[in-house]
A and B are shown apart, each in its own frame.
Chain A
Amino acid sequence: MNRIFALLLALGVMGCQEPRRSDLVQLDRMKSQVDSRINAAETISCEATDLICVQLLVARGSACLQLTEDAEGAAARQRRQCSLDDFAAAQRQLPNQAPAQDRRAVLTGLASARKVTRDNTLDMAAAAALNEQITSGLPGLQTVPGGAPYAAYFASDAEAYRAQRGVMPSAESCRMLGAARSGLPGAAVPSDLARRVLLLRTAIDASMLSRSCA
């Protein structure tokens, strides 16, 4: 009797973990929504390890990330946190057999959210921890089809950050900056990444120039 009850309970819990029809409707709505503010304000209750829940979280996380520069003070902080939480949750709920496209969206979104949070904190230790998290998440992104240029970009960014902020001899920071520059994706950079790569290359060059790196 107890066994039957336990089985029913387990099935019930599993049933609750499945995405509902309302989640699917919400996903359709969010995908067709052009106003990021509306997507950022959505409430998501989907907690299953399912692609629908992942896509819902990615949609809201991306909207929050996109809007970080449109807000100031507490609102901007809340949006950075929203993107960080959503992409982290999306990574946890990502099914093993998720398509490469969704996997890439989750991992690049998470790296971007960590980078934005790192760049906007006054706490050096917290920034360094976030930088390490960016680096540790990159092997997964590197193996996803089409993820290599993104992984290379975030790796260079994290390395440049370490060279800029770390306490080290000039020669060592020059070596790290050189490595960051040569690690930048060269050919076949996706269009959404090209501008960021150019910006980072310029910043690395400027840092090398200020250190008189050869």
Chain B
Amino acid sequence: MSAKRSLLTLGRTWSVAERQTWYGMNKMSAKVIVFAFGLLLCSTAGLLAQIIPVQAQSAAELQVQVLMAETRSLRDENARLRVDAPDNATRRQTIAILAGLTGAFALFSMLLFVFLARSVRQVLIAHGQNAGSEGWKTYMNLPLGVPEGSVRALASLFVIIFGLVVLVLQKQIGIGNVEAISGFVGIVITFYFTSRSGTETQKVADAAQAAANKTQDVVREAVARSSEVAASAAASTTAAIDRATLEVRTQQQAAPGATSAAPSNEGPTAAQANLRDLRDRLDAVRQVARVAASLGVGAEIMPGASEAVRTADLLLGAVEPLLSGRPDAGAVVGVLQQVTIALAPLENAGLPGSLADAIAALKGTFDVAGPIVAGIPGGPIGIVGGIVMAGLKLAQNQRQFEALKAALLEKPFDPILLPTVIDGVVATAALEISIQMKTILGDVGPGAATELMRRVTRRTDGRQPVLLTDLAAQLLTSGLSVDGQTLPLSGRVASAAELVQALEEYRSSLIFNAARSQIDGAVELPAAPGRPAATLDLRRLVDVTQVLSSNPVAASQIEKLVFLAEALGKLPAGAAAAAGLVAKALVAAETLLPQRTEKREES
């Protein structure tokens, strides 16, 4: 009674529709149970109908049935003789067993549902006071009023058990298509575990989302507080600058023919627009630095990435409050000056700085690279922009990006890029760009390159490329066996390490060629002052990069650019936004170039 009272107390919070229950279950659930039970009874009755012959029939019908039975009997006998089919008695007996089992299972399921539904209701009543209407809403959403997953488990159990029983009794029933039943049981098992893991994953994702939302709220509050502090600090600093500016302006106005200082002539709206532009640049620096720091390559591609993020955060905190409403003009001018001063070193250390360094490094090797680099739009700037833009373009397609990365860096990041077809012309083409291996092999027939290709592209049992140290040891011991002849290698190299290095070079060449074949299309280079927009063929870009990579300084910069492109491709704003950042950064990099080139020459 007390439980019922507490139920009624809670019931006040429900809507009218929610209150309609039937012995602890909602009305819909009850209907579903009745329907399911009816369905089970029908199927059981159907099965029994096959066993018990119908008595009340007309004479004509009986005659037809006798004839049909005779025909069936003959057919059955014939089939039994041909495929060892079971006789009717065995079949009927087996079907009766199955029908009995189905009935028993249905009864067991009903009892279990009633028990579970009652238990759930009792638990809810016991804890209902704390759960409130939310608890009841959850209860109303439970399938058939029982714990989530029970119906699915029971249904799956039924199909699996009976599927297996049917499989065991296949001969007795005379089933021919066993594959269909076993396949069906397999599907049910897969469905059950897939849906279960899906539910679990959803729960984990929901929990993670809730935690993330909570964290975001806390962070938002903290940022708001720090913005206020920064704004007041900025205001007090700029007040001092403002006073000094006012004094200077008064003195200038007093002087004959004096002109006003530029910032003071700008109204607050114009100053705000400038500030907004600076805010965007700051934000760009911050985003890039953040991604670089989070990827763990910050030190490589952007020295002081974490420090840049902190400084940018502080400045953004001071800028944001001044962008809305009608702030004090003096405060805006002051922050504008502060940000302008701070932004230059940040940008120098950030994306434009990295790009300028790469351009300066490639410029030094460009002149000696030969005709292959001629005609590249923008020269070294085009190469640098092309590498980053190509990386961003292919960032969404992991396979394509890996191919580009492997082609640009000639490293087997992905074993899938190892060639699978052995071909003499391909093997020779790779040997031509493997200087060390070419020297070791000397002037021998094509079979040597082909056999070498076969050996370095071989995979271990774990599908990983074969270890080159093992291969080198093997080749030094037994030589390279080609078409019944053996080419000794021990006398051609000074050490095993030298052979490993040559093998590595040869395999990289094969990968480079294979990766290159997967790269297709072109990349757009944005226009800049004094430089029109251009299109750069990706294969041409890869070829030029390969030539330039023979210089270690250029190779190191190219590697940095590839990682930078990978980092930018992961910016939350997306590849298009990142491409916009790079376009701006390339323009800024060009202005930094003389300074960077000078620095490089000095070093």
Residues of A within 8 A of B274 (CB): none
B64-79 contacts to A, CB under 8 A, are: none
Residues of B within 8 A of A214 (CB): 371
B473 CB to closest chain A CB (Å) equals 18
Quick check: which of A89-97, A100-108, A160-168 contacts chain B, the rest being far away? Answer: A160-168
Alpha-carbon gap, A70 to B291, bound state (A):
47
Residues of A within 8 A of B444 (CB): 122, 124
B200 CB to closest chain A CB (Å) equals 43
B453 CB to closest chain A CB (Å) equals 10
A189 CB to closest chain B CB (Å) equals 15
Classify the interface of chain A: helix, strand, loop or mixed. Answer: helix
Taking a contact as CB atoms under 8 Å apart, the answer to whether A206 and B423 are in contact is no
Quick check: which of B227-235, B460-468, B479-487, B591-599 contacts chain A, the rest being far away? Answer: B479-487
Taking a contact as CB atoms under 8 Å apart, the answer to whether A206 and B450 are in contact is no
Alpha-carbon gap, A196 to B370, bound state (A):
31
Taking a contact as CB atoms under 8 Å apart, the answer to whether B446 and A202 are in contact is no
Residues of B within 8 A of A198 (CB): 517
Taking a contact as CB atoms under 8 Å apart, the answer to whether B451 and A202 are in contact is no
Taking a contact as CB atoms under 8 Å apart, the answer to whether B432 and A206 are in contact is yes
Quick check: which of A3-11, A12-20, A48-56, A112-120 contacts chain B, the rest being far away? Answer: A112-120
A112 CB to closest chain B CB (Å) equals 11
**Does B424 belong to the interface (CB within 8 Å)?**
yes
Taking a contact as CB atoms under 8 Å apart, the answer to whether A206 and B483 are in contact is no
What mask results when residues 354 to 378 of chain B are scored 1 for a CB within 8 Å of chain A, else 0?
A: 0000000000000000111000000
B133-166 contacts to A, CB under 8 A, are: none
**Does B421 belong to the interface (CB within 8 Å)?**
yes
Taking a contact as CB atoms under 8 Å apart, the answer to whether A119 and B372 are in contact is no
Taking a contact as CB atoms under 8 Å apart, the answer to whether A199 and B424 are in contact is no
Known: A115-B424, A207-B429. A122 touches B487 (CB 8 A): yes
Residues of A within 8 A of B451 (CB): 120
B419, B484, B547: the one contacting A74 at CB < 8 Å is: B484
Residues of A within 8 A of B446 (CB): 118-121, 127, 161, 165
**Does A195 belong to the interface (CB within 8 Å)?**
yes
Alpha-carbon gap, A209 to B410, bound state (A):
15
CB-nearest residue of chain B to A180: B425
A122, A200, A202: the one contacting B485 at CB < 8 Å is: A122
B508-547 contacts to A, CB under 8 A, are: 509, 512-514, 516-517, 539, 543, 546-547
A164, A203, A205: the one contacting B539 at CB < 8 Å is: A205
Taking a contact as CB atoms under 8 Å apart, the answer to whether B445 and A127 are in contact is yes
**Does B433 belong to the interface (CB within 8 Å)?**
yes
**Does A60 belong to the interface (CB within 8 Å)?**
no
**Does A69 belong to the interface (CB within 8 Å)?**
yes
Taking a contact as CB atoms under 8 Å apart, the answer to whether B447 and A199 are in contact is no
Known: A119-B446, A119-B450, A203-B513. A209 touches B546 (CB 8 A): yes
Taking a contact as CB atoms under 8 Å apart, the answer to whether A161 and B539 are in contact is no
Taking a contact as CB atoms under 8 Å apart, the answer to whether B517 and A120 are in contact is no
Taking a contact as CB atoms under 8 Å apart, the answer to whether B421 and A195 are in contact is yes
Taking a contact as CB atoms under 8 Å apart, the answer to whether A212 and B372 are in contact is yes
What mask results when residues 186 to 206 of chain A are scored 1 for a CB within 8 Å of chain B, else 0?
A: 000000000110111111111
**Does B430 belong to the interface (CB within 8 Å)?**
yes
What mask results when residues 156 to 182 of chain A are scored 1 for a CB within 8 Å of chain B, else 0?
A: 010011001100000000000000000
**Does A35 belong to the interface (CB within 8 Å)?**
no
Taking a contact as CB atoms under 8 Å apart, the answer to whether B371 and A212 are in contact is yes
Most buried by A among B422, B425, B447, B517: B425
**Does B428 belong to the interface (CB within 8 Å)?**
yes
Taking a contact as CB atoms under 8 Å apart, the answer to whether B482 and A205 are in contact is no
**Does B25 belong to the interface (CB within 8 Å)?**
no
Taking a contact as CB atoms under 8 Å apart, the answer to whether A202 and B516 are in contact is yes
Residues of A within 8 A of B370 (CB): 212
Residues of B within 8 A of A199 (CB): 419, 421, 423, 426, 517
B386-429 contacts to A, CB under 8 A, are: 419, 421-429
Taking a contact as CB atoms under 8 Å apart, the answer to whether A205 and B516 are in contact is yes
**Does B565 belong to the interface (CB within 8 Å)?**
no
Alpha-carbon gap, A86 to B243, bound state (A):
99
Alpha-carbon gap, A204 to B429, bound state (A):
7
Residues of B within 8 A of A195 (CB): 421
Residues of A within 8 A of B419 (CB): 199
Residues of B within 8 A of A120 (CB): 424, 446-447, 450-451, 482-483
Taking a contact as CB atoms under 8 Å apart, the answer to whether B429 and A206 are in contact is yes
**Does B499 belong to the interface (CB within 8 Å)?**
no
Taking a contact as CB atoms under 8 Å apart, the answer to whether B424 and A209 are in contact is no
What mask results when residues 464 to 504 of chain B are scored 1 for a CB within 8 Å of chain A, else 0?
A: 00000000000000000111110100000000000000000
B194 CB to closest chain A CB (Å) equals 34
Taking a contact as CB atoms under 8 Å apart, the answer to whether B447 and A206 are in contact is no
Residues of A within 8 A of B547 (CB): 209, 212
Alpha-carbon gap, A74 to B483, bound state (A):
7
Taking a contact as CB atoms under 8 Å apart, the answer to whether B424 and A202 are in contact is no
Taking a contact as CB atoms under 8 Å apart, the answer to whether B445 and A121 are in contact is yes
Most buried by B among A77, A203, A214: A203
B582 CB to closest chain A CB (Å) equals 27
CB-nearest residue of chain A to B438: A210
Alpha-carbon gap, A205 to B426, bound state (A):
10
A2 CB to closest chain B CB (Å) equals 51
CB-nearest residue of chain A to B481: A73
Taking a contact as CB atoms under 8 Å apart, the answer to whether B450 and A164 are in contact is no
Alpha-carbon gap, A69 to B450, bound state (A):
11
Residues of B within 8 A of A211 (CB): 432
A128-167 contacts to B, CB under 8 A, are: 157, 160-161, 164-165
In the complex, 6 of the A-B residue pairs with CB atoms within 8 angstroms, ordered by the A residue number, are A118-B446, A119-B447, A122-B445, A127-B447, A164-B432, A165-B428
- Interface, chain A (partner B; CB < 8 A): 69, 73-74, 77, 115, 118-124, 126-127, 157, 160-161, 164-165, 195-196, 198-207, 209-212, 214
The 4 closest A-B pairs by CB, nearest first: A119-B424, A202-B517, A203-B429, A122-B445
Q: For the A-B complex with A204-B425, A209-B433 known, give 17 more contacts whose Cβ atoms are closer than 8 Å.
A: A118-B446, A119-B425, A119-B447, A120-B450, A121-B445, A122-B482, A127-B447, A165-B428, A199-B421, A203-B423, A204-B429, A205-B516, A206-B430, A207-B429, A209-B543, A210-B432, A214-B371
